[in-house]
A and B are shown apart, each in its own frame.
Chain A
Amino acid sequence: MNKKLYSLNKNEVTYVKEDFEKISINEREVENSIQIKSSFFKDCFKAFAKNKASLIAAIVLSIIALFAIITPIASPFTKIDSLSYNIDGSRLSNIHPKNLMFEGSGFWDGTYEKKINDADYYVYKFYDTENKPIIKDNGEIKDVEMEMLNASQKIHSVTLDSYAVGSSYISLNKEDYFKLEEYCNNTGKNIIQDYVDYRSYIEEYRNELLASEFNYSQAMIDITIKNMEIQYRNANITYKIVPLLNTDGSIRNNNVFLPMFDNTDVVHIYSSSVIDNDRHIKGVIENGQYHIRVDYMPYFEYKYGFSPIFLFGSNSAGQDLLSRLAIGTLFSLGLGILVTAINLLIGLVYGAVEGYYGGKTDLILERVSDILSAIPSIILLVIFNVYFSSIPGLNQGIAVVLGLFIAFILTGWIGVAGTTRMQFYRYKGLDFVAASRSLGAKNSRLIFKHILPNAIGTIITSSILMIPGVIFSESSLSYLGIIDFSGSGLSSIGQLLNEGSGSLGSDNAYLLLFPTILISLLMISFNLFGNGLRDAFNPLSRGE
C-alpha cells in the first residue's frame, strides 16, 4: 500500500496491482440487485399515469392534435382552389351540420325548423329540383312578432333541409357546356334544367300594369318591375309571380311577391330549348357563352368531384367549418407551442443568471422584470399590431403574427425566469455543487452540467401551462376583433368565434357552437394535463 503515490494533480494517481481485489460473481449480483432500477423520469410517469383525469386529458389532447393535422390533409374542401370557389361558396352558405350517421333523424342531419312568411314559403314549396327543401310542413302558426313585420302574410312553421340548395344560373363556354352535357348523358343525371323565360313574362306584366284600372304612376310601375326582376334572379322561381295584392286587386306591397295560381297549380314559364348546331340547348346563348340553369348540388359534384357534406356546417361564405376549425386549431396550437418554447429559452437564461449570481445582479434584473410584468400584454399587442400593420408592403398575415409573437414574448418569459431563479437558489447551495466548485469547475459548467439538469424537469413542466395561456389570450383577443386575421387567409379558433359571434340568436348558432366546444375541450384538457405533469414532476406542489 505504501507504494501508492498521490499527487495534487488528479490525473497522476497511480495504482499498483495490490490495490485491486477480485470479487466473486455472486457479490456482483448482489450489487446489481441493490441498484435502483427505476429512474426519476420513470417514477414521474408512473405518478402521472395514476392521475386518471390527466391521463384522459392527455388522450383528448392528442386526439385534438391528430384532428388538426389530419383534417386539412384528408378534407376535400382544403383541396379546392379558394379563388374559383368564391362564387360557388356563396351558394353553399350557411348549410347546417350533417352527419351521415344521423340521416333522417332530425338531429345533426342538416335540417332545421324555421318560421317563414308566405313569400318564402311558396318559393321553398315550388323548387323544381330533385331535393325539396321543405321536408316537413308543420302548418300555419301564430307568431305575433313575425306577423307585425309581415303585414297580411301568414306565418308557416317548416322543417327545412339546408342541403336542398335548389338551382342556380351559370354561364359556361361552349367546350365546358358540351362536357357537362356529355357527363349528364353518361351518368343519366338531370343537372341541366329548363331555362326560365322570365323576361317575356315581366314584359307581359308591365303591359298589364300600364293597362290597369288603378292608374299606377310610371315610377310605381318601374320600381315594381325592377323588384320583380330581382326576385327572378333566384333561379328557383320558375313560375309567374305577382306582388302582394289588396282584396280589390290593387298592389299592396311591391316588394313582396307571391306565385300566381291557376286553380291550385303554379304556372311555370319554362322557355322552349334553343337549337344550336342541331342540338337542343336548354338556355340562352350570348357571345359564345351558354347561360343555363342547373340543379346545384349535382353540378357541384360534377365540378369538384365530390358531394359536399359539412360535418360542422358551413359559414356564410360556404366554407367548411370543420376544415377551417382544424386549420385554426393547428395555428393556435403552433403559436402556443412556439411562443412557449421561445419564452422558455429566454426565461431559462435570465432566471439562471439571476439565480446563480444572486446579489446585486439579481436585484437589478428582478426590478426590470417587475416593471415589464406590470404591463398588460393587451396593450403591447395593440401597439405592435397597429405598428406592424402600418408598414407598407408587409403581408397582413405576417404583420399580425409578428405583432402577436413580440407581444407574447416581451412579457411571457417572466414566469419561467421566476421558476428558474427559485430552482437555482435551491440547488446552488447544495453539496454536490460545492464539491464540483471545489474541484475547480467553471461557472458555465456548474450551471449547465450540475444545476440545470436537476432543475429542468420542474421548469419545463411548469411552463407547459403557458401553452393554454397563450391560446386563451390569442383566442380572446381575436374574438374581440383586436387581432384580425380576416384579410390574411390565416385562421385561428378565436377568429372563428368572432365570425360566429353574431349568430347566437339565429338559425346558425352552430357556427359558434363548434369553435366554443373545441376551445373549451382544448383549454380543459391542456390545464388538466399540465397540472398532472407538474404534480408528477414536482411532488412538493401537489394539490395546488
Chain B
Amino acid sequence: MAITFVIIFTICFFLVRLMPVDISQGPGKDPTTYEKMRQAYGYDKPLIDQYLIFIRNIFYPYYKDANGVTYSVSRFGYSWQIDYMAEPNKMLFSKMAPTVIINGISILISIPLGILIGIYMALKKNKWQDYVLSVLVIVLISVPAFVYAFILQYSFSYKLNLFPTTMPPLMNGMSWFSPSVQKAMVLPVIANSIGSTAVFSRFMRAELSETLTSRFMILARSKGMSKFEAVVKHGLRNSMVPIFPMILGHVIGIFSGSIIVEQVFGVPGVGKIFLDSILQHDYDVFLFVGMFYILIGLAGGLLADISYGLADPRIRVGGNFKNE
C-alpha cells in the first residue's frame, strides 16, 4: 500500500505541477509579489527539484537562505487562492468536524437499517415483498445522490420550512453539536444515508439468500433448531463474512466527505474544500486533499483485506498460494 501510494503521489505531483498557474485570479493579490513568493518557495525550479524540495519539506520543514538564516516552511505547500498562504493540512483538518459528524451519523443509521432490510428480503425471497423491495433498492442505488438532495431540499426546506436550506455559518459560542447546527445536518444525513442503506440491503440479501440455501442450514433445522435460531446462529454469521469488510470500508470512509451532498447543503466540510480547490485552481490544496482521498481509499481496501481473515478464520492470506 505504501509503495502504491508513493507511486500515485509521484504521478499526481508531476501532473499537478505541470498545470498552468493563473496568477491574475483573486482580488487584492499583487501579481509581482505573488510571483516572488512562488520563486522563494521554489515553484519556478525544474520539476524534479520541486519534487525533491516537497519531499524534503515534508520531513524537514525548514529552509536556509543564502545568508544562513533558517526559516520555517509548510510541510505540504501553500494555498494560493482559497486562503492565501494557509497550510493545506491545517485547512483540511479544520474542515474535518462537520464531515465526520454527518458521515458518522449516516453510517450509524444506514448500516443497521440496510442489514435489517437485506435480512427481511432474503427471508421473503421470491415473494412479493422481496420483488417490491428489490426494485426499490435498485432504484435507490441508481438515482444519483443529488436527486435525493434536491427532493429533500425542495420538500422539507422550501415547501414545508422544517429545516434550513443550507448550513448556517458557525457563530461565536456555537459548536457542531448546537441544536441549530444539528437541525441543519438532518437533511445531509438523510441524503447520505439513502444510497448506502440500499447498497447494504442489496448485498445482505445476496449473501444471506445464498447462505440460507446451504446444506448446513438444513442440518441445523434437522437438529431441531427453530428457524429463527438457525438463521441467526448459522445464516447470519456466515453471511457477515463479506459484509464485515464492507462495513469497515465505510467506517474509514467517514473522513472523506461526499462532494455533492456538501455542495447542495452548503456544508463546510472536506468535500467542499476539495471542490473549492478544484474550481479555484488551488493546486497545493488540491494535491493534498486529493492525496488524502486516495489514502483513505487505499486504507479502506487494506483494512477490508485484513478483516476478511478476522471475520472468517478459514480465510487467511498466506504466503503459500499461487496465482493459478
Residues of A within 8 A of B (CB): 53, 358-359, 362-363, 370-371, 374-376, 378-379, 382-383, 386-387, 390, 425, 468, 472, 475-476, 479-482, 497, 501, 504-505, 509, 512, 516, 519-520, 523-524, 526-528, 531, 543-544
Query: Once bound together, how far apart are the Cα atoms of A370 and B3, in whole Å?
Result: 11
How distant is A469 from chain B, measured CB to nearest CB, in Å?
10
- Docked-complex contact A390 and B150, CB < 8 angstroms: no
User: Do B138 and A482 have beta carbons less than 8 Å apart?
Assistant: no
- The answer to whether B19 and A359 touch across the interface, beta carbons within 8 angstroms, is no
Residue of A nearest to B298 (CB): A374
Tell me what chain A mostly uses at the interface: helix, strand, loop, or mixed.
helix
**CB nearest to A479 among chain B residues:** B146
B324 within 8 A of A: yes
Q: A371-B8, A386-B20, A480-B275 are in contact. Are A497 and B290 (CB under 8 A)?
A: no
Number of A-B residue pairs, CB cutoff 8 Å, is 106
B206, CB-defined interface residue at 8 Å: yes
Give the residues in chain A near B290, CB-CB below 8 Å. 376, 379
Q: How far is the CB of A370 from chain B (nearest CB, A)?
A: 7
Given contacts A383-B16, A386-B281, A504-B154, whether A531 and B298 have CB atoms under 8 Å apart is no
> A358-B323, A386-B20, A479-B260 are contacts. A524–B138 as well, Cβ < 8 Å?
yes
Chain B contacts of A376 at CB under 8 A? 290, 293-294, 297
A387 to B19, Cβ gap below 8 A?
Answer: yes
Shortest CB distance A497–B (Å): 7
Q: Say whether B144 contacts A476, CB under 8 Å.
A: yes
In the assembled complex, which residues on chain A have CB atoms less than 8 Å from the CB atom of B154?
504-505, 509
Chain B residues whose CB sits within 8 angstroms of the CB of A374 once the complex forms: 4-5, 8, 294, 297-298, 301
What's the Cα separation between A519 and B139 when bound, in Å?
Answer: 12
- Shortest distance between the CB of A241 and any CB in chain B (Å): 34
The residue that A505 contacts in the complex, of B144, B158, B279, with Cβ under 8 A, is B158
- Residue contact B147 to A516, C-beta cutoff 8 Å: yes
Chain A contacts for B55, CB-based, 8 A: none
Residues of A within 8 A of B19 (CB): 383, 386-387, 390
Nearest-neighbour CB distance to chain A for B193, whole angstroms, equals 18
CA distance A370 to B8 in the complex (A): 11
- Closest-by-CB residue of A relative to B157 is A505
C-alpha spacing A539/B128, complex, angstroms: 22
Do A482 and B279 touch (CB < 8 A)?
Answer: yes
Counting CB contacts under 8 A, is B165 at the interface? yes
What is the minimal beta-carbon distance from B29 to any residue of chain A, in angstroms? 19
CB nearest neighbor in B for A512: B150
A85 to B138, CA, bound (A): 43
- Contacts A363-B323, A382-B286 known; A527 to B142 CB distance under 8 Å? yes
Cβ of B172 to closest chain A Cβ, rounded Å: 26
Say whether B211 faces chain A, with CB atoms less than 8 Å apart: no
Are B278 and A516 in touch, CB under 8 angstroms? no
A-B residue pairs in contact (CB < 8 Å), sample of 30? A53-B135, A359-B323, A359-B324, A371-B7, A374-B4, A374-B297, A374-B298, A374-B301, A375-B294, A376-B290, A376-B293, A383-B16, A386-B19, A387-B19, A476-B144, A476-B146, A476-B260, A479-B146, A479-B260, A480-B260, A497-B146, A504-B150, A505-B154, A512-B150, A516-B147, A523-B142, A523-B143, A523-B144, A524-B143, A528-B142
Is B12 among interface residues, defined by CB-CB distance under 8 A? yes
Q: Which residues of A contact B279 (CB under 8 A)?
A: 481-482
A481 to B8, CA, bound (A): 25
Residues of A within 8 A of B275 (CB): 480, 482
Residues 154 to 192 of chain B near chain A (Cβ within 8 Å): 154, 157-158, 165
- The answer to whether A519 touches B144 (Cβ under 8 A) is yes
Please name the residue on chain A nearest to B277 by beta carbon: A382
Task: Answer whether A519 and B147 are a contact pair too, CB < 8 Å, given A379-B290, A504-B158.
Answer: yes
Contacts of A504 in B (CB 8 A): 150, 153-154, 158
Does any Cβ of A come within 8 Å of B74's Cβ? no
Complex CA–CA separation, A460 to B286 (angstroms): 36
Asked whether A375 lies within 8 Å of B278 as measured between CB atoms, the reply is no
B33 CB to nearest chain A CB (Å): 23
Q: Hey, which chain B residues are within 8 Å of A524, CB to CB?
A: 138-139, 142-143
Q: Is B52 an interface residue (CB 8 A)?
A: no
Choice from A359, A383, A480 contacting B263 with Cβ under 8 Å: A480
Residue on B nearest A379 in the bound complex, by CB: B290
Least distance between B18 CB and chain A CB atoms (Å): 7
Going nearest first, the 10 A-B pairs with the smallest beta carbon separation are A527-B142, A523-B142, A390-B20, A524-B142, A544-B206, A505-B158, A379-B290, A383-B15, A520-B143, A386-B19
Instruction: With CB as the reference atom, state the residue of chain A lying closest to B324.
Output: A358
A544 to B206, CA, bound (A): 5
Confirm or deny: B209 has a beta carbon within 8 angstroms of a beta carbon on chain A: yes
**In the complex, A319→B16 CA distance in Å?**
37
Those of B1-44 within 8 Å (CB) of chain A: 4-5, 7-8, 11-12, 15-16, 18-20
Residues of B close to A375: CB separation below 8 A? 8, 11-12, 294
Contact B141 A520 (CB under 8 A): no
Chain A minimum-CB-distance residue to B207: A544
Interface: B259 (CB within 8 A): yes
Docked CA distance A543–B211 (Å): 13
Distance between B197 CB and nearest chain A CB, rounded to angstroms: 17
Which residues of chain A are within 8 angstroms of B138 by Cβ–Cβ distance? 53, 524, 527-528, 531
Asked whether B4 lies within 8 Å of A371 as measured between CB atoms, the reply is yes
Tell me which residues from 279 to 302 in chain B have a Cβ below 8 Å from any Cβ of chain A.
279, 281, 286, 290, 293-294, 297-298, 301
A411, B142: Cα distance in complex, Å: 21
A504 and B16 CA atoms in complex are apart in Å by: 35
Contact bitstring B231-265, A, C-beta under 8 A = 1, else 0 = 00000000000000000000000000001100110
Chain B proximity of A449: nearest CB distance (Å): 22
Please name all residues of chain A whose beta carbon is closer than 8 Å to the beta carbon of B278 when the two chains form the complex: 378, 382, 482
Chain A residues closer than 8 Å to B12, beta-carbon distance = 375, 379, 383
* A480-B206 Cα distance, complex, nearest whole Å: 34
For B205, the chain A residues whose CB sits under 8 A away are: 543
